[in-house]
A and B are shown apart, each in its own frame.
Chain A
């Protein structure tokens, strides 16, 4: 199950990066901007809602930064792969395979046969004339051969020149792309630093909102004490992940849903939290597979306390009275939640499911 979950997340992350690329992090950016809308403006008169908004904004900023970093890192890796062609010298034919001996040999043969022809030129003997004619044919063949050898010599020289020019240009392009890769790495490092700074900023902002202090204006102190709301409880739970990663209404996407095992048709998940205690309901319908007579409907409630781990595990009870467990695992983006449940076996009932839900 652990393997299947990892596989599910890897598949999802790959899908997110591969299919949507820049759109994925732009979407996460928009969500972040929506989450933090007017936060700084309202921080002055801030109360519990602004503290909660700061937490949501922090989570959205983390989701945006991680989605963008994943995209940029994957983009950088594929750039290194595809630019590998610029790193290796170009293919060229060896000029050593056109040794001068070839031309010399043909030239020597031509000279020999030409001399012999000249020697027999005046001989009227029929046989000698026949021999001379065959030598003439040989001479023609050798002359044509000498021409083609010269042509190949020129072609080999042209290939060498073209290869040398290409090699020089490849070197320049490789250097330019190496420079670009180095600049890109610096930008990625800057973004990394920004991500950490945003997290620190939202934490400081939420802390500052909670501190009831006197404004620099000459307003009476009494008025401030009555107008300033009490500090809001910030992420009171022990979870290392903001509660917004679990709490809320979630559903299975109508298209391109990600699952392992039984394929959901629809899933509605509702989670509420109070003082670190969680209550939730799942209402799911699974697609029927041929030859499977299982009831496609699965309904259950679950409850439990938030723990100090990213994966939250709760006990569940189905509408048919079967017990089981559910795991909630924050997805690769802040608006994604992986659900993994198992129930005690019951006849004609689906007893396990694993899928990723989107926040409504």
Chain B
């Protein structure tokens, strides 16, 4: 039953993987402060509810008012908590969507990185061919020795870059691997948040149920007191 209620609340709140919207567009810190404030207000009333009621006669309207007051404070606290969790979830789900997009882009980028490494290889081959051809031409014209030295330096630079790019490709793939592991962790965090939201909503319903029962007891206390009073009046007459 509890499980069914949880599932129902969960489905209602997060049905079809819909990201819940931040109701007021307020920042999380403000929403959290509101929850804490509402909690403090409720706790102050709830803690001494029974003591206060013990000092009030059963049919004194203040008895029912006291329960209603605590019930309202409880609902305000849990509604604030619900708003806060909804906002946290919305932000979290947006992060997860962004992480998924990042993974797709980085996977594509890793392929691009491999292609760029291949490009560097092609440049290496081309510059080696140029170097060989220039070495032949130097035999015909010694003035080409100066550009030959420069070309050798360029070839060395390209070789060095190709090596760096090889390492870079490896790093890119390793980073993508970490990202691939990260996305399920984002999803696990989201699933935990969904559970937390569902549990909070379930608790909200239970608190309301409890205060309804408490109100009902207060009414019964009044009723049986009145019956008792009328019976004792009747017996005196």
A138 and B202: CB pair below 8 A? no
B146 and A144: CB pair below 8 A? no
Also in contact, A215 and B141, with CB within 8 A (given A96-B36, A197-B150, A198-B154): yes
Give the bracket for the number of chain B residues in contact with chain A. 35 or more
| Per-position binary interface string of chain B over residues 5-41, scored 1 when its CB falls under 8 Å from any chain A CB and 0 otherwise | 0100000000000000000000010001001100100
Indicate whether B88 reaches chain A with its CB closer than 8 angstroms: yes
Give the bracket for the number of chain A residues in contact with chain B. 35 or more
B210 and A145: CB pair below 8 A? yes
Q: Which residue of B lies closest to A211 (CB)?
A: B143
A155 and B195: CB pair below 8 A? yes
Bound state CA distance, A141 and B39, in angstroms?
A: 21
Residue of A99, A151, A161, A166 near B6 (CB, 8 A) is: A151
Please name all residues of chain B whose beta carbon is closer than 8 Å to the beta carbon of A165 when the two chains form the complex: 185, 188-189
Please name all residues of chain B whose beta carbon is closer than 8 Å to the beta carbon of A289 when the two chains form the complex: none
A201 and B154: CB pair below 8 A? yes
Q: Chain A residues in contact with chain B, CB under 8 A?
A: 22, 26, 29, 33, 36, 38-46, 75, 79, 82-83, 85-86, 90-94, 96-97, 99, 101, 105-106, 109, 112, 127-128, 130-131, 134-135, 137-138, 140-142, 144-145, 147-149, 151-152, 154-156, 158-159, 161-163, 165-166, 169-170, 172-173, 176-177, 179-180, 183-184, 186-187, 190-191, 193-194, 197-198, 200-201, 204-205, 207-209, 211, 213-217
Q: Chain B residues in contact with chain A, CB under 8 A?
A: 2, 6, 28, 32, 35-36, 39, 43, 46-47, 50, 81, 84-85, 88, 91-92, 95, 98-99, 101-102, 105, 109, 112, 115-116, 119, 123, 126, 130-131, 133-134, 136-147, 150-151, 153-154, 157-158, 160-161, 164-165, 167-168, 171-172, 174-175, 178-179, 181-182, 185-186, 188-189, 191-193, 195-196, 198-200, 202-203, 205-207, 209-210, 212-214, 216-217, 220-221, 223-224, 227-228
